Structure 1
Amino acid sequence: MNNKVSLKKHLVLFLLLGCNTVAFSQLGIGISARKPALPTYSTPYVIPTVKDVKNIVDRIQQRVEKNSLFYLVDSINGQTISYSQPNKNAIYPQGAFYFIEWSYPNGVSLSACNDLYETTNDTTYFNYAIRFFDFTFKAMPYFRTMEENGLIRHHPYKKMIHMAALDHCGAIGAALIKIQKRYPDPRFREWIDTIADYIYNKQYRLRDRTIARQRPQPQSLWADDLYMCIPFLAQMGSLTGDKKYYEDAVRQVVQLSARLFDQQTGLYDHGWNVNSAADDPRFYWGRANGWCIMAMAELLSVLPENFEGRDKVLALYRRHAQALVHLQDGTGLWHNLLDQPRSYLETSASAIFVYSIAKGVNEGWLSHIYGSAALAGWNALATKVTESGEVCDIVEGTTLAHDNVYYFNRGKSCTTNFHGTVMRAGSEIIRLLNNPRFVIESPVPNSTIHVKLRADIQSK
């Protein structure tokens, strides 16, 4: 009985609602679904075009070219100097130093020039790299001769000639090999062999041959040094075919990672030293982690598929990439201390992560689903490039430290020479956008960027 009463009540209610709906309709009052609130993105959430990406990297390179004055002047009278006569007053033109010095940041930029030439076939980039190295191997012997004759003590190529650290040779040496492969020059090759001898035979190492430094503590390991040596060793193996360089590169990834890589977080500690090995506090500095993943990407690019230890390098690379994507900020960038969201968002590390993740997708080392994180990261990077080609919010050079105060308060600027990190990212994003293996779907409102395998779509 109660069930019949209940059913009658529900039927009456249903009829009343139906009548009201008709009445509202006759009065012109529509009943529609609620419109969802649309997101407001702090950076553009779109698929960039190849043209837009190329415009960004071109703008950076135009600034570089404008400031790269490949000649010497007399510091007293400002006159251009020929190389025929020694002149102890010889210097770079004002404003040119950071763009044409022999340095590891310029090594990154010159590798970017090689990348962009490969990706876009724009000879502007490759020709610039040739001009840079041609000038270097004219100016360096000039200063070296004056130093040997006692005319000068300090000059722009002192660290190049008297290399005493990986910073003085590794990254820029790797770029030199890349250019040498396309544009053989005996001057380049002679110096490549000089660098190889230093890194393989003279660079300070631990007893197990792990690359190390003697600062700030004795027997210190720096995450930065994965990039300062591994790309050179990898390129040297590719250039010569001598497997000892590949073996050393794999050794450095495995043995440095054994002390620096935290499997739980998937991140690299900035440094380690023998004095505090048991209870070393961990600081996951962004750019150091960038050097690590980019070094592994460069090694995987040339290391033969069946080479012993490649599987270990690939596993570390994948675990690192997974952790990095998890920590990407909602803006598309990454923080200066990766696990500390109160630290500022930093451009150069973000650029290296975009490069390394996009490269992994392009090469098949990572799943294609990582592509959206790389594209979102690129959109954020593009907002950091000014109309004049400066790249903003890049942290200054950062030593190995053991307190948050130091890392949190490192200066950042638009005038460092780490612009090459963004250029490398742009090159790999162009490859991703042009990659025939993928279909990249535009995000509709309230949706997301999808990178899909073309083969999956065609098989449906």
Structure 2
Amino acid sequence: MTQSMTVNQYEDIIAKLIRKMKELKPAFQESVSIGIVSMDNWEWPQGVGLFALYSYYKETGNQAIKDELIQWFDKRIGEGVPDKNVNTMCPMLTLSFLAEETGNPTYLKLCKEWVTYAMEELPRTEEGGFQHIVTRNLNAGQLWDDTLYMTVLFVARMGVLLDEDPYLQESIRQFLVHLKYLTDVRTGLFYHGWTFIGNHHFAGALWARGNSWYTAGLVDYLDIAPLPEGISQFLISSLERQVQALAALQDESGLWHTLLDHPDSYLETSASAAFAYGILKAVRRGFIDERYLAVGLKALDGVLGKIDEEGVVHGVSYGTALKDNLDYYRNIKQCPMPYGQSMTLLLMVEACKLKVEKP
């Protein structure tokens, strides 16, 4: 499928993905305190979607996308932003770029307030890790791999924007602390979380989307943050070891199971799209061996098969907490979500580059 599709066909899919992401509504009563399906809310799924839209705007120069992003932030700011935590910080990454482009002092003021919170007020675990505090849940003593994408990318970005080296150094420390406690040294994959209260990995879940926050997040972190060579080499070697394990666990469909090492768990599309995006970009940038191109292309095929004619991405698991029971992960509902749409959007844009550079 991928080899026969044209750039125009990818662009048609991209337009549908974006349209449907804006139109998403909950298919069931959400139990979370802030809705995570509709793009009308301010939470981490919306933040992931906003960053994908911004990345698409930067790639194409589509001014309409930028204007829509500005309208989104102006409306949400007018309504009142939510309380600060790891997950609600995710939209701030996109706002930091818009603050720089527009010169809007309100945007910059908010960004400074939120990065100050991350540096000075966000609760810490032992060894200074960002505690994964979310709305109504302190998650005391806990490190989650989600935090790297939701908060640490923003801290690094603000270090660049404000020329504040301590912010960059903090982002490096967070990556290293999280890798220290979340890496499964047997496989090179990552556990969903760790707690210093009891010193364990809960269910020991090698959860797909949690792993994909590293795969997709690292390739963008390396674009955002000027890192010492020794640090970038360490992070990239962790990525390549993860990809090596992913290659061995990839389903024939090209997708991955929501519990990576449990074939009895369902195949999950948002993680598969994020894996494919990170792998293809890492190969293109020369971060990892070119032999992994085939893994990324197979995943691209699998994700394309989960997009319906309207542009809705299916097989996406709903928001997932950190639990001590693997069956919890197996039983998470599946429904269209902003991060399913947005990770697929990033993948399609990367696929367009592949078609241009490798005709």
Normalised by the length of structure 1, the TM-score is 0.70
Q: Tell me if the contact between 1:297 and 1:317 (Cα under 8 Å) persists in the aligned partners.
A: no
Say whether residues 1:230 and 2:149 are aligned partners: no
Question: Which secondary structure state, in structure 1, belongs to the residue aligned with residue 197 of structure 2?
Answer: helix
* In structure 2, distance between residues paired with 1:121 and 1:345: 34
- Write the deviation string for residues 395-447 of structure 1: whole angstroms up to 9, x where unpaired: 01111011121111111113566421111211222222223xxx35xxxxxxx
Structure 1 equivalent of residue 47 of structure 2: 107
1:188 matched residue in structure 2:
107
- Give 5+ residue unaligned stretches, structure 1: 1-43, 69-94, 141-156, 441-460
Q: Is residue 2:86 matched to residue 1:166?
A: yes
- Tell me which residue corresponds to 2:300: 378
**Who is 1:197 aligned against?**
116
Amino acid across the alignment from 1:259: Y
In the TM superposition, what is the alpha-carbon distance from 1:116 to its structure 2 partner?
1.3
Query: Is 1:293 the equivalent of 2:243?
Result: no
Counterpart among 276, 279, 282 of residue 354 in structure 1? 276
Name which of 57, 61, 68 aligns with 2:18. 61
2:326 paired residue among 404, 408, 418: 404
Q: Is the 8 A contact 1:394 1:416 kept in 2?
A: no
1:116 corresponding residue in structure 2 = 56
Q: Whose RCO is larger (CA < 8 A, sep 6+)?
A: 2
* Residues 370, 308 of structure 1: alpha-carbon distance in 2 compared, 3 angstrom cutoff: closer
For residue 61 of structure 1, what is the amino acid of its counterpart? I
Aligned partner of 2:31 in structure 1 is none
Matched, 1:210 2:129: yes
Which residues of structure 2 form unaligned runs of 5+?
Answer: 26-34
Shift of 1:112: 0.9
CA distance in 2, matches of 1:207, 1:47: 51
Q: Deviation per CA, 1:337-369, whole angstroms, max 9, x where unpaired?
A: 011111111011111111111111222212233
Report the TM-score, using the length of structure 2 for normalisation: 0.89
Deviation beyond 3 Å, 4+ runs, structure 1: 44-48, 64-68, 213-218, 278-281, 305-308, 415-418
RMSD over aligned Cα, in angstroms? 2.4
Mark the structure with the bigger radius of gyration. Answer: 1
Kept in 1: contact 2:125–2:140 (CA 8 A): no
Distance 1:65 1:344, change over 3 A: closer
State the alpha-carbon separation in 1 of the partners of residues 37 and 305 from structure 2.
27
Distance 1:375 1:279 in 2: 32
Matches within 5 A, 1:40-59: 44=1, 46-59=3-16
Aligned to 1:327: 249
Which of 386-395 and 209-218 deviates more? 209-218
Kept after mapping to 2: 8 A contact 1:119/1:430: no
| Contact 2:202/2:323, CA 8 A, preserved across alignment | no
Q: What amino acid is aligned across from residue 208 of structure 2 in structure 1?
A: G
Which of 83, 93, 96 aligns to 1:177? It is 96
Which of 330, 335, 356 aligns to 1:413? It is: 335
How many residues were matched structurally?
347
Instruction: Verify the 8 A CA contact 1:216 1:400 in the aligned structure 2.
Output: no
- Please give the per-residue CA displacement for 1:286-333, whole angstroms capped at 9, x wherever unaligned: 111111222222221122253562222222122222222222211111
Q: Deviations over 1:149-181 (max 9, x none)?
A: xxxxxxxx4xx2x22x20111x21111112223
Sequence identity percentage: 26
Q: Distance in 1 between matches of 2:200 and 2:88?
A: 31
Amino acid at match of 2:86: L
CA distance in 2, matches of 1:338, 1:207: 28
| Conserved? CA contact 1:223–1:289, under 8 Å | yes
Q: Which runs of structure 2 are paired with 1:429-448 in the superposition (5 Å)?
A: 429-435=351-357, 439=358
* Contact persistence 2:131–2:140 (CA under 8 A): no
CA offset at residue 122 of structure 1? 2.8
